[in-house]
A and B are shown apart, each in its own frame.
Chain A
Amino acid sequence: MSWKAWFGVIALGAALAGCGSGSSTAESSGSKPLVAFAQANSADPWRQVFDAETKAEADKHASDFTFEEQAAEDDPAKQNNVIDTFLLKQPKVLLVSPVTEAVQAQVEKAYDAGVPVILLDRAIPGDKYTAYVGGDNVEIGREAAKYIVDQLHGKGTVLMIQGLGGATATTDRKNGAMEVFKATPGIHVIEGDDCKYQRNAAKTYMENFLQSGKPFDAVYAHNDEMAIGAYLAWAASPKASGKRPLIVGIDGCQREMVDMIKAGKIDATFKYPIPGPKGIELAADILKGNKPTDKKVILPTERVTKDTADQYLAANPNLAK
């Protein structure tokens, strides 16, 4: 009975494991080299698009290498386990989107063992990696602020709804924008609450802020979810009959956001670039024997407004939701 039960569980698991890996198990021992990707998490919308675009790019190279990905639930200890286990399979290139710098030791172990390591999105201290691909949040903050200053003709009050305190993305998106705002004498900035990048938190904060009755002309949210939350609060308030404030977000990874821009509910978002496809491209180059020429590849942002929304949707078929 119990033997059978155990055997059933294991056999099912094994069957599933077989299905899951499909051809890769057979081939990893064969001629095709392995490109392994240790992802930080696969849960938030930006990471979902990240996964989809990375997979799509890897599929283009399916005849050159096998691609495998494992997510780590944003737990650096889990990511260390993933990297250690990947190394047993002797990958030819290791892609890592670090959870935190706590994975530095494992990344360096891989690099020291001669495996080229490409870091995506987040960097680690030191220089023991082959290449880094990511966006520049300070520059994105500057671009967003320049757009807001332009739209307000250099005069007005900006409410900044902030992302998770202490996160580098938050600090960078804030500092980049403040640089531009401070250089414009007509602009006054209200530093809003830490809404943790969450729509709901931003909505509640905005409801309270509207209650206070303080005048403002624009909302600069550190991500799209919070921009949507701010819009929803404004649309449900008595003030919705008046002139809508300018609303700007960052990320550009959700169809919902682009649709709202198209519908004229939100004004703009700035794409936080997805580093996966470029990482796969570099991996393919390394397999051909070409070392990356630049150690750091900084991908540019892209502004999405009502005019460019359709074009953006067409160019980015893998957007979340």
Chain B
Amino acid sequence: MRATKQWSWLTIAQRYQGLVGLLLLLAVALVLAPHNSAPGNLFGSVFFSSANLRNVLGQLAVPGALAIGATFVILTGGIDLSAGSALGLLNCIAASWLLHGASASATAAYVLTIGTAIGALLGLLVNVTKLQPFVVTLAGMVSLRGAAFVYTNNANISGLGHNFDFLEAPTLGIPAAGWILLLLVLACSILLRATVFGRRVYAVGGNPLAAEYSGVPVNRVRLGAYALNGLCIAIAAILFTARNSNGEPSAGLGYELDAITAAVVGGASLMGGYGSAGGTFIGALFIVCLNVLLILQGVSYYVGQGWKGVIILVAVYLQNLGRRN
């Protein structure tokens, strides 16, 4: 009886580990975070304030969209190491279009198309070469970063004007970029849970051979997952361009690892077949909240990094513990 109860606790904690971690973090924040009397503070806490809600969602938009994209690839049992480089290239393309006077919608459409095409190309390469996604996307990481530097002739692009400013403007207390992320999470959640394609993504990641024998078009599903990842990266790149209002070929360095971290903390398994858009969102939110709390507490960035490593390890350990049974 007692044992059963313990396991059920574990099951809950393992299934909702991102959420459990986030709630604990919020509890800690309530006690620790500095207090002041700015308007909109709940319990007088700087952390639980409307200003911080804006701050967190503003910071979350880019890593959140990247993490949602990474989730599709991770669910198929793959990994995308090229996301940061792709973000850098797309950031430069968006910036260059805006600099030359293109409208927001034309720029966005072009960037979304290129991003999706890059994703699809990577998926195609994985299918055709039968190489590990790690290797294919590692090559993509190197090439796309190079392409970004060539595209901008090794310079930053600034003076973009204000066409993308509306993405940063608050609507109902949250930056438009935050709303876009929330819509993206909702759409991807529905896609993964309630469509044939979604089920097949899980099937491909769970056991590609079994999926193949049961008639799942494995290659097409994988291609779709990588293309969707590319689309999410493009969305992230547009939001990134809006927030920084410039283009830098070095932008997004190492962001692919943040995206993978968010997915893993949110309960995704790098072996494929486990994970969800909602879980990844919670994972990304957890990391941003942790970052904000560390800055509010005046803890050095490097100490924070050390703790993030510990948290990833604990998250993966918990998954393993639950799934071994």
Find A20's partner among B9, B59, B303 (CB 8 Å cutoff): B303
Find B21's partner among A10, A75, A82, A90 (CB 8 Å cutoff): A10
On whether the beta carbons of B55 and A17 are closer than 8 Å, the reply is no
On whether the beta carbons of B32 and A17 are closer than 8 Å, the reply is yes
* Interface assignment of B310: CB less than 8 Å from any CB of chain A: yes
Query: Once bound together, how far apart are the Cα atoms of A76 and B88, in whole Å?
Result: 13
Stretch at the interface among B72-80, B118-126, B191-199, B244-252: B244-252
What per-residue 1/0 map shows which CB atoms of B247-269 lie under 8 Å from chain A?
01001010000000000000000
List of A residues within 8 angstroms of B240 by Cβ: 77
Find A102's partner among B246, B295, B318 (CB 8 Å cutoff): B246
Q: A18-B32, A29-B35, A90-B38 are in contact. Are A125 and B158 (CB under 8 A)?
A: yes
List of A residues within 8 angstroms of B302 by Cβ: 42, 71
Residue of A nearest to B301 (CB): A71
On whether the beta carbons of B34 and A73 are closer than 8 Å, the reply is no
List of A residues within 8 angstroms of B271 by Cβ: none
Query: Once bound together, how far apart are the Cα atoms of A102 and B298, in whole Å?
Result: 24
* Interface assignment of B174: CB less than 8 Å from any CB of chain A: no
On whether the beta carbons of A20 and B299 are closer than 8 Å, the reply is yes
On whether the beta carbons of A85 and B295 are closer than 8 Å, the reply is yes
Query: Once bound together, how far apart are the Cα atoms of A90 and B52, in whole Å?
Result: 12
Q: Which of A179-225 contact B (CB under 8 A)?
A: none
Find B246's partner among A9, A13, A100 (CB 8 Å cutoff): A100
List of B residues within 8 angstroms of A90 by Cβ: 36, 38
* Interface assignment of A5: CB less than 8 Å from any CB of chain B: yes
On whether the beta carbons of B17 and A2 are closer than 8 Å, the reply is yes
On whether the beta carbons of A104 and B245 are closer than 8 Å, the reply is yes
Query: Once bound together, how far apart are the Cα atoms of A24 and B32, in whole Å?
Result: 12
On whether the beta carbons of B245 and A89 are closer than 8 Å, the reply is no
Q: A9-B311, A14-B28, A125-B158 are in contact. Are A25 and B251 (CB under 8 A)?
A: no
List of A residues within 8 angstroms of B49 by Cβ: 88
What per-residue 1/0 map shows which CB atoms of A15-34 lie under 8 Å from chain B?
01110110011001100000
Whole-angstrom distance from the CB of A162 to the nearest CB of chain B?
Answer: 14
On whether the beta carbons of B310 and A85 are closer than 8 Å, the reply is no
Interface size, chain A (Cβ < 8 Å): 48
Q: How large is the interface on B (under 10, 10 to 19, 20 to 34, 35 or more residues)?
A: 35 or more
Query: Once bound together, how far apart are the Cα atoms of A6 and B297, in whole Å?
Result: 20
* Interface assignment of A147: CB less than 8 Å from any CB of chain B: no
On whether the beta carbons of A100 and B248 are closer than 8 Å, the reply is yes
On whether the beta carbons of B248 and A17 are closer than 8 Å, the reply is no
Find A2's partner among B14, B244, B297 (CB 8 Å cutoff): B14
Query: Once bound together, how far apart are the Cα atoms of A17 and B321, in whole Å?
Result: 29
Whole-angstrom distance from the CB of A314 to the nearest CB of chain B?
Answer: 30
Q: Which of B148-169 contact A (CB under 8 A)?
A: 154-156, 158-159, 168
Which A residues fall within an 8 A CB radius of B? 1-3, 5-7, 9-11, 13-14, 16-18, 20-21, 24-25, 28-29, 42, 68, 70-73, 75-77, 80-82, 84-90, 100-105, 125, 165-166
Which B residues fall within an 8 A CB radius of A? 6, 9-10, 13-14, 17, 20-21, 24-25, 28, 31-32, 34-36, 38, 46, 49, 51-52, 55, 58-59, 62, 154-156, 158-159, 168, 240, 243-246, 248, 251, 253, 290-303, 307, 310-311, 314, 317-318, 321
Ordered by A's residue number, 29 sampled pairs between the chains whose C-beta atoms are within 8 Å are: A2-B321, A3-B13, A5-B314, A5-B318, A6-B24, A10-B21, A10-B28, A17-B293, A17-B299, A20-B300, A21-B297, A24-B298, A25-B298, A29-B36, A70-B300, A76-B244, A77-B243, A81-B291, A85-B55, A85-B291, A86-B295, A88-B55, A89-B296, A90-B36, A90-B38, A100-B156, A100-B246, A102-B248, A166-B155
